[in-house]
C-alpha cells in the first residue's frame, strides 16, 4: 500500500536503520537489482535477517525509529502500568481517551508490521533464485511465512479486520480492502499451523534466535485464546508441552529468586525461552531504572498490579481484609511475606537495589532526591519495573539482554486456561501446570478447597497470568479478551502509598470508550492513500 512507502520515507531521517525504506522502495538494501542480488545462500540469509529485524523486543528491537512499538511498553495501555514519554509512543493519549486517526502509536505499529509483511513477501518471491541447499531454503521459507503471520497477528489484534497481504506491493497498489475478521483469523492460524508442522524444534546454538515449531504453536494458542477458540488453544499448547524440550528455569544457586534470575544475565541462556528478540531488552536501564542510579523511567507499575500478588500463604492482601490491604500497600513486602514474583518484577519504596547499595525513596520531597515521584525521568507512580534490570548495565546504561517474546511459563498457563474455559476446570492437568509455575517461585499449591468451580478457577488463572507475566506485554490483550477492559481502564489510577501518610499517589484519570477503543484507528494517512480502506467504528 502507498502508506507503507510514504511513512517509511517520511520518517527515514529518524531511523537508525534504513532497511524499512530500502526494502519498500528498492530491489535490495544496497540498491542493486534483484538479478544481481538473489544469487547465494549468503544473500538469502541477509534478506531473511531483515525480515527478523521488524520483530519487536521488550524495550527495543524493531528497526523503526525510537523503538516506540515494543512489547513491554504496551503495558502502559493496560491497568498494570502508566507510560510517560510521547517520543516513545503517545500511549497516554489512548488512556486519556483523546487519541484519533492521527494517533502516532497506531501509525507506528501499522507501518512496522506491514513493513515486516512486505519484507517477508519479497523474500518468498525471490529466494528460489538463490543457489543453496534446498532443505535449508525450504526451512527459511517457513521462517519467513511464520514471521509474516506474526506481523499480521499483531495488526489483527490491534486493528481488527485488516487486508491480508501476501505479496510485495508497489507504491501504486493502494487499493486493498480489509478482509473479514474470519478470513484474517483463518489465514494466520493456517500459516502458523503449517509452519509449526514444518519448522524444527531447535536450532544450533548460534541460530537459537530463529523462529521454531513451539513458537508457532504458542502464537496459535495466543490468538485462539484471544478469539475464544479454546479447543484450538488447548491443542496448540499441549503440542508444545508434549515436545518435552522446554522447562521452567530454576537457579543453580540455593535461595535465589528464580524468576528474578531468569531476567538477568545469569539466567539468560535457559530452556524456558521459546521465541526471543536478541538484545531486545538491552536498553531496559534507560526505560525503567531509577534516575538516581543512572537510569531513566518512562513506564511505571500501578497499585493494581502490585495488589495482585499474593502473600506466601496464597491469599491476596485484599482477601486478608482491609487492615492487611492497608499494611501491604504501605509496605508491599511486609515481613518478607509476598509472592517472590513481586520482588522479581517491581522495585518499590525503601527497597535496596544494586546489591543492596542503593535504596529508592520516591516519597522524599527533597529537591536533591532524583527519584521523587513525577520528576522528569523518574517514576510516575512510586514503583519501577524490575524485570530485565541487571546492575551490569548500569554504567554503560545498556547491554545485551535478550527479550523473551514467548516463554514456557506462558504455555503452561495458556493450556490451563483453555482447559478451564472448555469446562475441564477440574482436570488434574489444570492444577498440575498452574502449580508448576507457582512452585518455581516457592508459592504454595492451589487450594482446591477454595478453587472448586469453573468461576473460581477462572479467577485464579487470571490472577496467576498477571503475577507471572507482568510487564511482558500480555496484560493489554488479556483484559480485552476477558471483557473487563471497560471496567479496569476507566477511572482513577493509583500508584504507591506513602508509608508515612497512608495516602496513595493519584496518577491519572483514564477514559475508555467501549464503543470505540477496543480497536485502534486506521491511520489517517492510510485512509487518504487508499480509497477502499474503511475506518474502525467511531473514529
Per-residue HEC secondary structure of 37-91 comes to HCCEHHHHHHHHHHHHCCCCCCCCCCCCHHHCCCCHHHHHHCCCEEECCHHHCCH
Whether 434 has a pLDDT exceeding 80, the answer reads yes
pLDDT at residue 355, rounded to an integer: 83
86 vs 287, higher pLDDT: 287
Which residues are CB-contacts of 174 (< 8 A; sequence separation ≥ 6)?
1, 2, 3, 529, 530
Domains of the chain listed by start with CATH number: 2-199+517-529 (1.25.40.390), 283-399 (no CATH), 409-510 (1.25.40.900)
Angle at 468 between CA 322 and CA 143, to 5 degrees: 155
Tell how strand 491-497 and strand 403-407 pair up: unpaired
pLDDT at residue 270, rounded to an integer: 96
Q: pTM for this one?
A: 0.93
pLDDT at residue 33, rounded to an integer: 64
Looking at residue 369, what DSSP letter applies? -
The string of pLDDT tens digits covering residues 254-312 is 999 999 999 999 999 999 999 999 999 999 999 999 999 999 999 999 999 999 999 99
- Cα Rg of the chain, angstroms: 23
Query: How far, in whole angstroms, is CA 221 from its chain's centroid?
Result: 15
pLDDT at residue 67, rounded to an integer: 55
**Partners of 78 in beta bridges:** none
The 8 Å CB, 24+ separation contacts for 12-20 are 14/65, 14/66, 15/63, 15/64, 15/65, 16/63, 16/65, 17/53, 17/63, 19/50, 19/53, 19/63, 19/119, 20/63, 20/64, 20/111, 20/112, 20/115
Q: Using 50, 70 and 90 to split pLDDT, how confident is the model at 17?
A: very low
Helix (H, G, I), strand (E, B) or coil at 378: coil
Specify the length of the chain in residues. 539
**Partners of 276 in beta bridges:** 404
Amino acid at each position: 500500500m502507498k502508506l507503507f512507502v510514504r511513512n517509511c520515507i517520511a520518517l527515514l531521517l529518524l531511523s537508525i536503520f534504513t532497511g524499512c525504506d530500502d526494502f519498500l522502495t528498492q530491489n535490495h538494501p544496497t540498491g542493486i537489482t534483484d538479478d544481481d542480488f538473489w544469487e547465494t545462500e549468503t544473500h538469502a540469509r541477509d534478506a531473511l535477517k531483515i525480515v527478523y529485524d521488524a520483530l519487536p523486543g521488550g524495550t527495543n528491537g524493531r528497526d523503526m525509529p525510537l523503538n516506540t512499538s515494543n512489547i513491554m511498553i504496551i503495558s502502559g495501555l493496560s491497568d498494570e502500568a502508566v507510560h510517560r514519554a510521547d517520543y516513545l509512543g503517545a500511549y497516554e493519549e489512548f488512556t486519556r481517551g483523546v487519541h484519533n486517526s492521527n494517533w502516532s502509536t497506531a501509525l507506528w505499529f501499522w507501518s512496522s508490521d506491514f513493513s515486516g509483511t512486505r519484507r517477508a513477501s519479497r523474500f518468498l518471491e525471490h529466494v528460489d533464485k538463490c543457489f543453496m541447499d534446498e532443505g535449508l531454503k525450504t526451512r527459511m521459507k517457513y521462517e519467513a511465512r511464520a514471521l509474516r503471520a506474526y506481523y499480521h497477528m499483531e495488526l489483527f489484534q490491534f486493528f481488527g479486520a485488516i487486508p491480508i497481504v501476501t505479496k510485495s506491493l508497489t507504491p501504486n497498489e493502494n487499493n486493498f480492502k480489509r478482509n473479514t475478521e474470519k478470513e484474517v483469523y483463518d489465514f494466520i492460524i493456517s500459516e502458523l499451523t503449517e509452519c509449526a508442522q514444518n519448522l524444527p524444534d531447535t536450532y544450533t546454538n548460534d541460530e537459537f534466535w530463529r523462529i521454531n515449531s513451539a513458537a508457532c504453536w504458542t502464537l496459535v494458542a495466543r490468538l485462539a485464546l484471544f478469539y475464544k477458540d479454546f479447543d484450538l488453544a488447548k491443542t496448540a499448547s499441549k503440542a508444545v508441552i508434549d515436545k518435552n524440550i522446554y522447562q521452567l528455569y530454576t537457579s543453580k544457586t540455593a535461595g535465589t529468586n528464580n524468576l528474578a534470575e531468569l531476567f538477568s544475565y545469569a539466567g539468560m541462556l535457559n530452556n524456558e525461552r521459546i521465541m526471543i528478540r536478541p538484545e531486545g531488552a538491552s536498553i531496559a536501564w534507560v526505560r525503567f531504572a531509577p534516575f538516581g542510579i543512572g537510569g531513566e523511567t518512562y513506564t511505571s507499575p500501578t497499585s493494581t498490579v502490585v495488589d495482585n500478588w499474593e502473600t506466601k500463604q496464597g491469599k491476596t492482601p485484599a482477601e486478608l481484609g482491609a487492615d492487611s490491604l492497608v499494611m501491604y500497600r504501605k509496605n508491599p513486602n511486609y515481613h518478607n511475606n509476598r509472592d517472590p514474583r513481586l520482588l522479581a518484577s517491581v522495585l518499590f519504596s525503601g527497597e535496596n537495589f544494586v546489591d543492596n547499595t542503593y535504596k529508592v525513596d520516591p516519597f522524599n520531597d527533597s529537591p536533591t532526591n532524583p527519584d521523587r515521584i513525577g520528576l522528569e525521568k523518574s517514576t510516575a507512580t512510586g514503583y519501577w519495573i524490575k524485570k530485565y534490570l541487571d546492575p551490569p548495565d548500569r554504567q554503560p546504561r545498556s547491554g545485551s539482554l535478550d527479550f523473551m517474546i514467548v516463554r514456557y511459563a506462558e504455555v503452561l498457563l495458556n493450556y490451563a486456561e483453555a482447559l478451564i474455559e472448555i469446562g475441564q476446570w477440574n482436570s488434574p492437568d489444570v492444577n498440575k501446570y498452574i502449580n508448576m509455575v507457582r512452585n518455581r517461585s516457592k508459592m504454595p499449591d492451589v487450594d482446591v478447597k477454595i478453587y472448586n468451580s469453573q468461576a473460581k478457577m477462572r479467577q485464579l488463572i487470571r490472577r496467576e497470568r498477571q503475577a507471572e507475566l507482568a510487564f511482558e506485554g500480555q496484560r493489554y490483550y488479556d483484559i480485552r479478551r476477558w471483557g473487563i477492559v471497560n471496567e479496569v481502564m476507566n477511572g482513577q489510577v493509583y500508584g504507591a502509598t506513602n508509608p508515612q501518610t497512608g495516602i496513595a499517589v493519584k496518577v491519572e484519570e483514564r477514559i475508555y470508550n467501549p464503543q470505540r477503543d477496543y480497536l485502534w484507528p486506521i491511520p489517517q494517512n492510510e485512509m487518504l492513500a487508499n480509497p477502499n480502506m474503511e475506518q474502525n467504528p467511531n473514529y
